A and B are shown apart, each in its own frame.
Chain A
């Protein structure tokens, strides 16, 4: 079945860049997403990329998609303490209107001052 994998933990210093990686198995994925979960809260969409794109940039965020290797990454430039959270990668298969997403395990980003 479909699977999405992420490493569980990343620690960086404030001001550094963070790179969170994700691999997925479903080659028919149409959209891939990055969600952010702050402590005690639900998930909020951070950014997404359509499967026919290689890269998407949004202010401090850069998403890179390598469809051949089924690899997605999220780069956060100039990481701040407010970026400390759990980041989930998710993919949407080509299952039309079911709308369900498959999520990875989540990567906890710790930003040290």
Chain B
């Protein structure tokens, strides 16, 4: 069964803390994505990566960074968490070329910043 696993389902952090959100996929996909989900705003793309050590900014990259040292792992980093980063974070992966371009999603990480 194909899988995207996000390490933490729920996190509570304090303002100013550094936060790591980890995502691992077992499908050998080249593309990986971090989206943020907020009610009424849908999913907004933060960063994506199409290869190891490659990254591209999405629509809302401010306040975030990413790391992709291995093909299967894509990390989202909040250098100094702020209350407006309280949200649901969704990781996804896909394979480029062929097929229907489907994104496979993890279960999400709900982050609360106090």
Complex Cα spacing A45 to B101, Å: 11
Is A101 an interface position by the 8 A CB rule? yes
**B61 contacts A by Cβ under 8 Å:** no
Which residues of B have CB within 8 Å of A31? 100-101
The answer to whether A88 touches B43 (Cβ under 8 A) is yes
Minimum CB distance partner of B105 in chain A: A42
Could you tell me if B33 and A42 are in contact, using CB atoms closer than 8 angstroms? Answer: no
Question: Which chain A residues lie closer than 8 Å to B95 at the CB level?
Answer: 99
The answer to whether the Cβ of B66 comes within 8 Å of any Cβ in the partner chain is no
- Whole-angstrom CA separation of A34 from B9 in the bound complex: 24
A40 to B43, CA, bound (A): 15
Min Cβ gap B7→A in Å is 14
A43 at interface, CB cutoff 8 A: yes
Chain A 45-76, CB within 8 Å of chain B: the 1/0 string? 10010100000000000000000000000000
Residues of A within 8 A of B106 (CB): 42
Q: Bound complex: CA of A45 vs CA of B105, how far in Å?
A: 9
Contact of B102 with A45 in the complex, beta carbons under 8 Å: yes
Given contacts A30-B101, A100-B33, could you give 9 more A-B pairs where the C-beta distance is less than 8 Å? A6-B42, A88-B43, A92-B101, A98-B31, A99-B48, A99-B96, A100-B45, A103-B43, A106-B43
Q: List 29 A-B contacts (CB under 8 A).
A: A4-B42, A8-B40, A30-B101, A31-B100, A31-B101, A33-B102, A41-B107, A42-B108, A43-B90, A45-B103, A48-B100, A88-B42, A88-B43, A97-B30, A97-B50, A99-B33, A99-B48, A99-B50, A99-B95, A99-B101, A99-B103, A100-B33, A100-B48, A102-B45, A103-B35, A103-B42, A103-B43, A104-B42, A105-B41
- Interface residues of A, Cβ cutoff 8 Å to B: 4, 6, 8, 30-31, 33, 35, 40-45, 48, 50, 88, 92, 96-106
